Amino acid sequence: MNLLKMRSDLSHFFSDNYQNGLLFSSSDVLLAYLIPGWKALMAFSIPRNTLSVFSLKKEQDAILCLDALRFISFTWVASLHSAVFTVESDNGMQLLRDEDYFYSPLILNSYSSVDTFFLISGLLVSYTFFKKVHRDPDHARSRFNWIMYYVHRWLRLTPAYLLFIGMYVAWTPRMHGVWALSTAMNSSYFVQACEDTWWMNALYISNFNGMLNMCYPISWFLSVDMQLYWIAPLFLLAIYYSWKAGLGAVLAGVLISIFTMIALTAYSNLPVVSFFAVKHIGNLDFTNQIYIKPWTRCIPYLTGILCGYLIIQVRQKSIELRRPKAWQIIVCWLMATVTALTVVFAVYDYMRGHSEWSIAVKSLYGSFARIGWAAAVAWVVLACTFEWAGPVKNLLEHPLWYPLGRLSYCAFLVHWFLIHFLLNTGDRPSHYVSLGHMYLTVTIPVVFLSCIMAYIWTCLVEIPFGKIEVIVVDHLMRKRKSHIRDNMANGTRPEMNGDGIKPANTSAITAIEVNDNH
């Protein structure tokens, strides 16, 4: 009898852990069954985590073009930050004179790359939520699931984030290159900021501290992304109960964001871009009031929420989407391309100081840039998903993008530090030659080194802590399931208390993908 029970337990143990990706073989299952803590130990296995990173397989219902968009956007961000550091070279002002080249906005006005990140985040949050709702209609009414919605997000991002900041604080003061004492990038200043305000990073509110007082300057993005994630359920639930109400809520959010940008621009006469406009060089008013605040960066995120809902509805056959005619697809591609190029290049004369825009024009551009870029990227995602993209789909959905997409989060974390590190390896300040030279000698090496360091950080920190989270949550769900089963065996009907959790349904939590790219 005991042997039969053990066989049954092993069978369930194998099924649960093999399917959620925690264990790879039957020998793993046996060791995990016999040795407490084996699964947690194996979460730190470098070979296994390496296989996870470089796997060319995806879930059948994954949105495959997102990895390419994520990595391309990261590379674009790295080019902009390379230019920020280049200003501190021995002839850094030459960079501003190079703004006369028509292609300069491709690097110096690459702020829209961050909007792509926000759109992807909103899309994945919406897509994941409605996929779970289709699988389990009670998912949206479960208090436990909503608690885990917030807990999972914090645990998903924070270990790799805070541990890297700890390394940044420990290592940066030991850089003794010529750049360590530069005015704009004073390392000791930012290290002191981390020692004083690291808790704001842990709570994801560092963007309210101002750019110059922030621990690790690029942390503002993670804070804004988390803050938008906090309020996303307002829009998700509105769409869940009524798509018309949800659409109204999203449009209201977009309008509030637009009016806020207009009001701030008019009140403080803010520039339309940060840092690289000749007449506003080094001006951080735009950055602190508009660029790093959630109420002015929410438009692409809300656009992503609508995209995620549309994709899951079409895939679940809830909406029938007819294929457009060929000329309609071509027109949409042309409109998306022209819109994206306009967002990037419209500020060409403004950045060079050859024209001064009125408050009305600046407000119009600020609003158009957010909406236009979000619409253009949304079209790319929808076109690839619904087979309207032709060769673009083949390019963006190639499996070689998958590992790069998985590394993008940690690569983003480390790239700012690596630019500083790379430029401190010489015995003299760098000399600016051209934007092309900067891209070849700084941006490309930084992207390459970021991928290497991101691989190490992903295997040592991000994936292991993600797997441990799954193990802990799976254990909690088993205890909860066992408690409900015991109550039913004793003749006690389990109280739902608005929680909506069914005794046999643990898929909402245990199916969390460890490397879901937030």
pLDDT 10s digits, 315-348: 988 888 888 999 999 999 999 999 999 999 998 8
- The pLDDT-based confidence of 515 (bands split at 50, 70, 90) is very low
8 φ/ψ angles, rounded to the nearest 5 degrees: -65, -45
- The pLDDT-based confidence of 90 (bands split at 50, 70, 90) is confident
User: What pLDDT is attached to residue 54?
Assistant: 96
Q: Which of 353, 347, 345 is nearest to 279 (CA)?
A: 353
In a domain, 516, yes or no: no
Give the pair of three-digit tokens for residue 127: 């897509």
Number of domains in the chain: 1
In a domain, 298, yes or no: yes
Q: What is the mean pLDDT of residues 232-242?
A: 96
Output the DSSP codes for 188-246: HHHHHHHHHHHHHHHTT-GGGG-GGGSSSTTHHHHHHHHHHHHHHHHHHHHHHH-HHHH
pLDDT 10s digits, 130-181: 999 999 988 899 898 999 999 999 999 999 999 999 999 988 877 766 665 4
In a domain, 312, yes or no: yes
Q: What is the mean pLDDT of residues 369-396?
A: 96
Output the DSSP codes for 82-115: HHHHHTTSTTTTHHHHGGGSTTTHHHHTTTHHHH
Is the model's pLDDT at 272 over the cut of 60?
yes
- The pLDDT-based confidence of 183 (bands split at 50, 70, 90) is very low
Q: Considering the entire predicted model, what is its pTM? A: 0.87
Is the model's pLDDT at 391 over the cut of 90?
yes
- Alpha-carbon span 99 to 118, nearest angstrom: 28
Angle between helices 219-241 and 243-268 (to 10 degrees): 140
Average pLDDT of the residues of the chain: 84
Q: What is the mean pLDDT of residues 19-26?
A: 51
Q: CA angle, 125 as apex, 122 and 131 as ends, to 5°?
A: 135
Higher pLDDT, 397 or 500: 397
Output the DSSP codes for 106-117: HHHTTTHHHHHH
Indicate the range of 90-104, 187-201, 219-233 predicted with least confidence.
90-104
pLDDT 10s digits, 411-421: 999 999 999 88
pLDDT 10s digits, 168-181: 998 887 776 666 54
Is the model's pLDDT at 73 over the cut of 50?
yes
- Alpha-carbon span 311 to 291, nearest angstrom: 29
- The pLDDT-based confidence of 488 (bands split at 50, 70, 90) is low
Rg, Å, the chain Cα set:
25
Higher pLDDT, 272 or 72: 72
CB atoms near residue 68 (< 10 Å): 21
Could you tell me what percent of the chain has a pLDDT over 90? 53
- Alpha-carbon span 356 to 220, nearest angstrom: 29
In a domain, 17, yes or no: no
Residue with structure tokens 């359920």? 233
- The pLDDT-based confidence of 448 (bands split at 50, 70, 90) is very high
- The pLDDT-based confidence of 300 (bands split at 50, 70, 90) is very high
Length of the chain: 518
In a domain, 513, yes or no: no
Q: By three-state DSSP, how is residue 434 classified?
A: coil
Could you tell me what percent of the chain has a pLDDT over 70? 81
Q: Which residues span the domain enclosing 301?
A: 55-470
Q: What is the mean pLDDT of residues 42-61?
A: 91
Q: What is the mean pLDDT of residues 241-265?
A: 95
Is the model's pLDDT at 255 over the cut of 90?
yes
In a domain, 402, yes or no: yes
User: What pLDDT is attached to residue 518?
Assistant: 44
CA distances 392 to 87, 168, 324, 352, Å, are 36, 39, 17, 33
User: What pLDDT is attached to residue 27?
Assistant: 57
Q: Which of 197, 190, 174 is nearest to 416 (CA)?
A: 190
User: What pLDDT is attached to residue 22?
Assistant: 52
| Contact (CB, 8 A) for 380 and 340 | no
Give the rounded distance of the alpha carbon of 144 from its chain centre.
24
pLDDT 10s digits, 356-378: 888 889 889 988 999 999 999 99
In a domain, 30, yes or no: no
Give the pair of three-digit tokens for residue 227: 């803050």
Higher pLDDT, 434 or 251: 251
pLDDT 10s digits, 450-480: 999 999 999 999 999 999 988 888 877 777 6
In a domain, 24, yes or no: no
Give the pair of three-digit tokens for residue 15: 């099924």
Q: What kind and span of H or E run contains 279?
A: none
Q: Which of 498, 130, 97, 71 is nearest to 313 (CA)?
A: 130
Give the pair of three-digit tokens for residue 224: 């804004």
User: What pLDDT is attached to residue 281?
Assistant: 66
Higher pLDDT, 402 or 188: 402
User: What pLDDT is attached to residue 484?
Assistant: 60
- The pLDDT-based confidence of 96 (bands split at 50, 70, 90) is confident
Q: What is the mean pLDDT of residues 418-427?
A: 82
Q: What is the mean pLDDT of residues 510-514?
A: 34
Residue with structure tokens 């759109």? 119
Is the model's pLDDT at 268 over the cut of 90?
no
CA distances 88 to 181, 252, 414, Å, are 10, 42, 20
